[in-house]
Chains A and B, each alone.
Chain A
């Protein structure tokens, strides 16, 4: 096919060592009018420093969301790409593929779409970019036949992400893939039919390294952790000290512990004050062979993370310091907790208000009461420092704590 548009700006992005998206676009443009005009519009954006897409309404039968509609504002100049919609499709947890399924997805996309596929979007979806309104249903049907389903868009539960986790990481503290699927597949209705105040994201990280950035990028972060002692292989500790040297171990392990709970003994063994370990992962990250998370593993749950709009960036806040995730009942109660949170937020959140913003507005204590969780010191960095607070019911509240504690003691 003859080159449709000159692209002097984009051409400059074909040189250099990093793989060039422009080169791929050009390959597609050789056989496909839509991508030829898309390249033209992108070049136009580069030349004028402006975007030329507007939204609209496009969806597939039975679903409200999942397609990101894009209509060009310059369709006269670039008619073949005047409709350039994206289908968000949920990948398997951990983003595993065999080549057979990837090829089938490519075949579908060459047939029904532009041939441009982003792996993956910031939302965690496979993004099939570039589809006409007419073809969206056919493309989705074919993808759906392969066992893949639409992701979230709009005021809905959104596509989730989980780390590689137990599939290939020794730090994994729970079954990320199962937790991810169990939770998400309990919310397909809220995912496909946007009817919440705003978006709601779940993310699952297998350990406190939080490779999924869940503390900041999800409304409900499920992060693996453990309650018992760090597992130590004494021989491997000795071997590590021997190879790296004592100074390395002191400078890079012992003195970097945030709660100073480690010491290097005269016999080159390591002593850990596990009661003060905050499960930060640093020593385990450095000494991957000698140290591992404990055996009594589970998750910490934080709620309310999000980026800037509207009230400023928020990290998630601990609402469940520790929860086991092993039995069917454990998973059921995780789903129930998520349902309770989403229901409460759907009821009390303002339009376009994220869950964390609602918590900021009503206060964490009220939120906890609303979803039926008891307050715990692990939920705060420090108690309040401002004395302007009304505390008429102090005795009542203090009794709740005392009773919970007696129960806890009694249970031991």
Chain B
């Protein structure tokens, strides 16, 4: 009887049932869309972090620079000693400024901490090549033909001899180089890239003159596998082209760590700039971070969540919108939908006073009447849930189809808190490209569907409680008297 009565009532009150279901559907659909977009934002942020950080890397360890580090770097290039016109070059492989370097031994110390699975060191460098064509200046108005090395441009004043002509055209070519541990490539700067052509380093290539080049840089420079790239005067054979999973790569050129340490103009033998750490499990990350902070002197540890807080750009803005406004909008719409469903169910019970009064007169217990009302409301809730899931999935599909591009930045342009210092990968990000673009997806996960079903059930039950409460309070005599 319960199911027959339920089915007939829902069929009879199709429009009312549809209004209740649509109200719930709107709320549930919005929750699904917002949840999916928020999940997409999180995925996008993860993607950004992975591209900046390296898949498989949970923490980075670096050492903040003190005031004595860095400072302007000097280059000396000029014409030949004999004063003739000449083309001169100066190729420097300099550490990226802003950080002290860590001894190789710290990598071992970090790896020895509880909860650490792998720790590898990397050295971030910048290859800067200055190339100048120098021309001699001429002294006019005095001893003719006397060359003045190193001076060009304007002449002297007054009636004395003056310098005419001369000067230099200087080209500056720079690219970033990262030395990495070729024996552990699943963690570290190259782990967020895939080898799209050629091959990766072999584990025996510790001091090989081999290089892996980022695909974007290779395209710009016309490099391909088998070509050479010159770093500090040394030719490295390009053995592989690496394509970053998303956005920008960590560096333009990757070479074995030992080679990078040897070639650096600074004394960086046995030094690394960043240690990449993979924890045993994600649950261990906070403890590992604390352990390294405590046990490794002078180390600054950055986790993905630290980095996430320093990601800015419209991805960050959109994420905040989805998290804050989206969440509250969903809550408001959902509460309104629940209330609407409850009031409509109460109103429906009000229109069926005689019916329920009659049933009570026939000996139906209040509980049975309430169960009937709640059953109807529950089915309305489920119907609303189904429609809501359809609406929500459609909304998420629309977002995924349109796939708006969001950018995320870490670095000078980011909204870093005052006094905060971006450590670890920042040096590499700055060197390559600190802005990463990702297309927003809105994945509808099983947990989101489960949430929708739970909301539908809750909505139905809340509506049923409203209606049931009213039905339970009906006294048969009042119900029958009211319609006489």
Determine if chain A interacts with chain B: no
The interface of chain B, by Cβ under 8 A from chain A, is none
Listed in ascending order, the chain A residues whose CB lies under 8 Å from chain B are none
